[in-house]
Structure 1
Amino acid sequence: MSLQEKLEHVLSESSATFGVVVKHLGTGEEARVRPEQYFQMASTFKVPILATLFRDIDEGTCSLEQRFRLTEDDLVPGSGVLKEFLPGADVALRDLATLMIIVSDNLATDKILELIGAERVDAYMKELGLQNISIKQSCWELLSVGAGMGSEKKGAEGFHKVTEVFKTSGFDSDSVIFQPTPENNVTTPADMNQLLEWIGTGQLSSQAASDGILDIMKRQQLRNRIPYLLPDQTVVASKSGTVGHVVNDVGIVYLPEEKGAFTITALSFGHASTKEGERMIARLAQTAYEHFVNE
């Protein structure tokens, strides 16, 4: 069977809606499922943010050595570790960028967005020709709107209120954030995978920028999707994302025995559980890995 047929066979066992693009960076062999459909990015939107940050570093408008003092006004619920720190901690931009990716830290993400601007991330994607990557909301905005508390102000009080909503009732499944339109944080699988390809082949703003991005993404600690069913020593540069019934993972998988690498973008919604989506993404990555290794 072709790679396309193999991936479609795996997806036939899921009741969720998936958009998937897989591409071998050496041979160009590719498979695409709903490549041009909009999907909510969830925390995979942190990859375009990281790309824009390294573009700015290339241009000298910011430095990874800059330090930022965290306060209660910076608190953001959801994933990450910085929300557990006592107010007053000084954190370098390099550490914010790393934590944004490897533990999907929402506070770190919003601090970076304060520095570079969500509108500039959106504009950079358009400059690259990625017209279907749309960045409109910070983590705080995404989560507070998703909790039905879009008017809540950021800060300690708002943080505790939104956190409590998630504990008791979770996301509003009818929230506007799940609408597949450019007014939200959305992408098509094709555009996200193109961004990954440029990162993986050193064709972003510079080779140094691409290398810096990959160095962080390869440190990923959340490995229960793309890497989960792959051999233990497999090098994977990835970023996952979850919000409500949306379960995503995107990344670059490095193959053994000089067989190259492949990009994989797996975006989805409509899962009965997060674990169901995670298992499906792991199987998609395993299927692609075995296909390329055995060619």
Structure 2
Amino acid sequence: MNLQQKLESVLSESSGTFGVAVKHMGTGEEAQIRAEQYFQMASTFKVPILAALFRDADAGLVSLEQRYRLSEADLVPGSGVLKEFLPGAEVALKDLATLMIIVSDNLATDKVLEIIGKERVEAYMRELGLTQISIKHDCWELLSIGAGMAGEKKGAEGFRKLTESFQTSGFDPDSFIFQASPENNVATPADMGRLLELIGTGKLASEQASDGVLDIMKRQQLRNRIPYLLPDETIIACKSGTVGHVVNDVGIVYLSDDKGAFAIAALSSGNPSVKEGERVIARLAQTAYEHFVQE
């Protein structure tokens, strides 16, 4: 079987709806499934944010060493560690970016977006020719809309109310955020794959900017999707995302025996459980890895 057939075979056992784009960045061999369909990005939208941040740092518009004081007004529920810190902690911009990726810190993400500007991230995607990546909500907005609490103000009280809502009710499965609309944080697997390829081949604002993005993504600590079934020594630069029935992971996998690297974007919806979505993504990555290594 060719790569396309192998990936389709994996997805034939899935209950969710998956969009996949896989491409070997050396040979150009690729396979795509629903690659032009919009999917909610969940926390994979933090990759475009990271790319825009390093573009701005490369241009001297921001300093990665600048420290920012965090307050109760910055609190965001969900993944991450900064929400557990006492108010008043001062964190460097690069550390915020690192936490945004390696532990998917939502507070760090919204702080970075506040600093560089949400609109600038989407504008940068357009500059790169990626017209099918839309970023309309920060983490707070995404979570509050998904919980049926749109317009809830940030701060200690809003944080408490939103956290309690998730503990009791979770996400509204009929929420607007799950609609495949450019008015949401959506992307096609094809465009997400192209962004990964630009990062992996040093073609962001500069090779230095690309390397900065890769360096952080390679430090990923959440490894239960793309990395899960790959050899332990495999170098992987990735970013996962989950919101409700959406289970995603996108990244660059470096092959053994100097056989290059491939980009993989796996976005999904309608998963009956997070674990099932994770299992499918792990098998997709394993299938692509084994295919390219055996070439």
Q: Specify the TM-score bucket, using the shorter chain as the normaliser.
A: over 0.9
Counterpart for residue 70 of structure 2: 70
* 1:262-286 Cα deviation digits (max 9, x unpaired): 0000000001100000000000000
SS of match in other structure, 1:251: strand
* 1:70-120 Cα deviation digits (max 9, x unpaired): 000000000000000000000000100000000000000000000011111
Counterpart for residue 88 of structure 1: 88
* 1:162-215 Cα deviation digits (max 9, x unpaired): 110110110000000001010000000000000000000001110000000000
1:221 paired with 2:221, answer: yes
Counterpart for residue 189 of structure 2: 189
Q: Distance in 2 between matches of 1:140 and 1:268?
A: 22
SS of match in other structure, 1:248: strand
**CA shift for structure 1 position 15:** 1.4
The two structures, once aligned, show a CA RMSD in angstroms of 0.4
Q: Distance in 1 between matches of 2:143 and 2:258?
A: 42
Counterpart for residue 142 of structure 1: 142
Map 1:258-277; keep pairs closer than 5 Å. 258-277=258-277
**CA shift for structure 1 position 127:** 1.1
Counterpart for residue 20 of structure 1: 20
Give the partner amino acid of 2:168.
T
Give the partner amino acid of 2:100.
M
* 1:122-173 Cα deviation digits (max 9, x unpaired): 1110111100100000000000000000121011100110110110110000
Counterpart for residue 172 of structure 1: 172
Give the partner amino acid of 1:251.
G
Q: Distance in 1 between matches of 2:276 and 2:223?
A: 15
Question: After TM superposition, what 4+ stretches of structure 1 lie above 4 angstroms from structure 2?
Answer: none
Give the partner amino acid of 1:19.
G
* 1:227-273 Cα deviation digits (max 9, x unpaired): 00000000000000000000000000000111000000000000110
SS of match in other structure, 1:264: strand
SS of match in other structure, 2:49: helix
Counterpart for residue 291 of structure 1: 291
- TM (norm. structure 2) is 1.00
SS of match in other structure, 2:133: coil
Counterpart for residue 37 of structure 1: 37
Counterpart for residue 106 of structure 1: 106
SS of match in other structure, 1:238: strand
Give the partner amino acid of 1:205.
A
Q: Distance in 2 between matches of 1:237 and 1:188?
A: 19
Counterpart for residue 47 of structure 1: 47
Counterpart for residue 58 of structure 1: 58
Q: Distance in 2 between matches of 1:77 and 1:217?
A: 22
Q: Distance in 2 between matches of 1:255 and 1:288?
A: 10
SS of match in other structure, 1:284: helix
Aligned residues: 295
**CA shift for structure 1 position 17:** 0.4
**Any unmatched runs of 5+ in structure 1?**
none
Counterpart for residue 212 of structure 1: 212
Q: Distance in 1 between matches of 2:272 and 2:45?
A: 23
